[in-house]
Amino acid sequence: MELVIRRILANIIDHIIIAIPTFILGILLFVFSVLFRVLFWFLPWNWMISNPFWAFAGSVSILYILYETLSLYSMKTTIGKKLMNLEVRAIDGTLDGWTCLLRSTVKELIFGASKSPLFLLGILSIVYTLIADNHSSFHDIAAKTRIW
């Protein structure tokens, strides 16, 4: 139970850290989307590209995946995990870049999809972590990693 709480707190810390550049990027994307809509009003698919919500939601996910992938690859932890004394380890001992990218992407797909059915996987993943007590969640299983 303690491990799950530390993992959740580490995730919250990491999302707070990534929120500042994401907010700045969100403002820039909003300005760009307004300019795009004004300049290219005649294009039939203009609404899809110039919608600031989708641009912002996508940028949050991409920034978080980049942050976590680079942190795990270089330090085997993120700032939030470091503050909670957690480290990601590969089952076979080699935590390479592709493993870090896979783990971060699956995690963001599961937990970042709060308005889709995939969000239920996030809840099930937390329940699994509580019950199994093997230092892994669904994204750890996909990437063959564990949290210690």
What number of residues does the chain have? 148
Tokens of 79: 């700032």
**Taking 80 as the threshold, does the pLDDT of residue 72 lie above it?**
yes
State the CB neighbour count (10 A cutoff) for residue 60.
19
Residues 6 or more apart in contact with residue 74 via CB below 8 angstroms: none
Torsion of CA 119, 124, 129, 131, to 10 degrees: 160
Q: Work out the pLDDT band at 44, boundaries 50, 70, 90.
A: low
Which of the pair, 130 or 46, is modelled with greater confidence?
Answer: 130
pLDDT at 122: 78
Q: Average pLDDT, stretch 23-50?
A: 72
Q: Where do the domains of the chain lie? A: 2-147
Q: How many whole angstroms separate alpha carbon 93 and alpha carbon 77?
A: 15
pLDDT at 52: 62
In the chain, % of residues over pLDDT 90: 30
**Taking 90 as the threshold, does the pLDDT of residue 13 lie above it?**
yes
Residue 88: phi and psi, rounded to 5, are -90, 130
**Taking 60 as the threshold, does the pLDDT of residue 80 lie above it?**
yes
3-state secondary structure of 117: coil
pLDDT at 62: 85
Of all residues in the chain, what percent are helix, strand and coil, respectively (each to 5)? 70, 5, 25
Residue 141 half-sphere exposure, CB side, CA atoms within 13 Å? 10
**Taking 60 as the threshold, does the pLDDT of residue 48 lie above it?**
no
Which pTM does this prediction carry? 0.76
Whether residue 97 contacts residue 73, with contact meaning beta carbons closer than 8 Å, is answered with: yes
